Amino acid sequence: MIGTLDPKIPPGPLAQKWRNHRDHSRLVSPNNRRKFEIILVGSGLAGGSATATLGELGYRVKCFCFQDSARRAHSIAAQGGINAAKNYQNDGDSVYRLFHDTIKGGDFRAREANVYRLAEISNNIIDQCVAQGVPFAREYGGLLANRSFGGAQVSRTFYARGQTGQQLLLGCYQALCRQIAAGTVRMFPQTEMLDLVIVDGQAKGIITRSLRTGKIDSHAADAVVLATGGYGNVFYLSTNARGCNVTATYRAYKRGALFANPSFTQIHPTCIPVSGEHQSKLTLMSESLRNDGRVWVPKRKEDRDKPPGEIPEQDRDYYLERKYPSYGNLAPRDIASRAAKEVCDEGRGVGPGGRGVYLDFADAIKRLGENIIRERYGNLFEVYEKITGENAYKVPMRIYPAVHYTMGGLWVDYDLMSNVPGLFVIGEANFSDHGANRLGASALMQGLADGYFILPNTLPNYLASQMGKRPSPDAPEFRDTEKDVRARIEKLLNVNGTRSLDSFHRELGLLLWDKCGMSRHEKGLREALQKIPKLREEFWHGVRVLGSEQDYNQALERAGRVADFLEFAELMCIDALERNESAGAHFRQEHQTPDGEALRDDENHAAVFTWELQGDGQPPKLHRETLHFEIVHLAQRSYK
């Protein structure tokens, strides 16, 4: 079915590709736009900005989200900031440098053309958000303020206290509200996409379930856009919101869309450590804290139970500063996470269970005073105190890595269209820009670049050939897909087992964390691939889901998501096994440099791995998109 994967990268020099492409793309004229219906699934930064922008352009848009309001999408929880190459600090930043940092941070596993476009657009995003009234931090003279983030040697991050994601999302949400009032957008809150409808090989609609009433509906459209975020919750414990799931993208995969690099999952170095079995989620402490906090553990494991104040300076190991002197505590996320795991594996971890390292503000408080630290990070210190009961102005924070973001996602071409014509994928849900590791403050940038600026310019390229081709939601393809959806729900409710949903999800999460987490090896991955199908089998015989499908039934909605995670986890492990190299967040123990850094194999693995479903019992088929680097010189990443 799939020939060679063509990313459709426009010709010409890197810096002119995006402009050339726009100059030659097809358009839809203003009076024809209202004749097109677009489905947007997800209302976060990518989905919200795309919906608002397409509505403004005059398309008729339906936007779906599972939350009770578009404003609650998980983008809202992003703390630290958003990158842009404005060079307001006069510290040597440029579009090229942001591009290069992002490619390098991603360990050379992203497309040059996409990342360059992202860096170019970053500046427009800041302009757009300021115009909308996003209250970014400012200096006394009224200019915008910046701070620095991991993986960069310039200050290019714009922020709104520790609530940057919230403020950017509210900007999108307000723009979306304006379109709802204008009648261009219809919002469907508490409505979950359960399947993708393909008509004549093109994505032409979705099947949804109202979480409020249980009603199943068919929605037809001229194009379908998924902006459904990442799948970090496959690990059960992650920094994602409880509702985040893989269902929309996985259902699309089951209908023929290619899933790219599913094993690329980001483990964030600064999260509050796990405190017990009851825990339902992990809480991130923004990476921005690493600007002023120093990470350390005791040099000797005998000291690890001592109160930190009793460990003198000479007995502390500031291991990031020691190993990476030029980036120090601002080493990229994958590197900082692995370094924390390493010192804990050596038995030097602190706190209950020994899975924690200190993030210490004592020096910064001495240098700047408590007030400045409070102004910069006050809300994060409050969150920390609420969860742990400890005052981080007095004792160092304890942190440990946790699952945070997924670089993998559905494969898309330069237009952000998947291999299924008419199916577009934006934001975290696609695989496009972060390679094997995302740099801090780049997720917000990508979500908004996709939604405000890229999709509105590339979607017409497809729509222009689709005039009048929208099927009726009564077409047989919709009826058949709807039947599949109903059968699946019925099956879930009829298992009538004895084991709870959470216990399956937890078991899957622990298995993945162990075998397909911060470091992976062939034997472990093969073990996981043995165990996951067994667990899935047990699930379909033993899970207990109560209640009815025609009701507000939170257990049923979660059961469907866990069922998809149980299939998707296998795809992650297959991908991790196939990628026989280390790259960014994907660390295969077999492939490391003598000092323990990720060792890439550019000759055989400078490629995107995409997977095509082969049907029952068959392993998925691999298609590779070779990455061509014209500008960037592939090198061993060094942050030393």
Partner 1 sequence: MNFLLRIWRQKNRQTPGKLVDYQVRDISPNTSFLEMLDILNEQLLDRGEEPIAFDSDCREGICGACSLTVNGEAHGPDHPGAVCELYMRKFRDGATITIEPFRVGAFPIVKDLVIDRSGLDRIVEAGGFITARAGSAPEANSILIPKHDADIAMEAAACIGCGACAAACPNGSAMLFTSAKVSHLAFLPQGHPERESRVLKMVSVMDAEGFGNCTNTYECEAVCPAEISASFIAKLNREYARAALRRSAGE
Which residues belong to the active site? 333
Closest approach of partner 1 to the CB of residue 211, in Å = 10
Q: Which is nearer to partner 1, 215 or 242 (CB)?
A: 242
Structure tokens at 165: 């994601």
Closest approach of partner 1 to the CB of residue 87, in Å = 11
CB of 264 closer than 8 Å to CB of 584: yes
CB of 22 closer than 8 Å to CB of 454: no
Closest approach of partner 1 to the CB of residue 639, in Å = 29
Q: Which is nearer to partner 1, 113 or 501 (CB)?
A: 501
Structure tokens at 639: 């942050």
Please give the order of strands across the beta sheet that includes 202-210. Answer: 191-199, 202-210, 216-220
* Beta strand 423-425 pairing with 202-210: unpaired
Closest approach of partner 1 to the CB of residue 499, in Å = 9
Structure tokens at 360: 């210490």
Closest approach of partner 1 to the CB of residue 255, in Å = 27
Q: Which is nearer to partner 1, 106 or 243 (CB)?
A: 243
Closest approach of partner 1 to the CB of residue 637, in Å = 31
Q: Which is nearer to partner 1, 133 or 201 (CB)?
A: 133
Spatial CB neighbours of 418, under 8 Å, sequence gap ≥ 6: 203, 252, 257, 258, 410, 411, 412, 424, 425
Q: Which is nearer to partner 1, 540 or 629 (CB)?
A: 540
Contacts 24+ apart (CB under 8 A), 585-588: 585/264, 585/265, 585/266, 585/267, 585/333, 585/334, 585/337, 585/407, 585/436, 585/437, 586/263, 586/264, 586/436, 586/520, 587/334, 587/338, 587/518, 587/519, 587/520, 588/519, 588/520, 588/521, 588/522
CB of 272 closer than 8 Å to CB of 399: yes
Q: Which is nearer to partner 1, 192 or 317 (CB)?
A: 192
Q: Which is nearer to partner 1, 301 or 558 (CB)?
A: 558
Q: Which residues pair with 82 in a beta bridge?
A: 158
The phi and psi torsions of 337 (rounded to 5 degrees) equal -65, -45
Closest approach of partner 1 to the CB of residue 448, in Å = 9
Q: Which is nearer to partner 1, 103 or 175 (CB)?
A: 175
Structure tokens at 461: 């390229």
Closest approach of partner 1 to the CB of residue 433, in Å = 19
* Encoded amino acid at 566, one letter: L
Of 445, 433, 442, 440, the closest CA to residue 409 belongs to: 433
* Beta strand 60-64 pairing with 185-188: parallel
Residue 469 to residues 35, 76, 328, Cα–Cα distance (Å): 11, 36, 56
Count of CB atoms situated within 10 Å of the CB of 4: 8
Of 354, 426, 373, the closest CA to residue 53 belongs to: 426
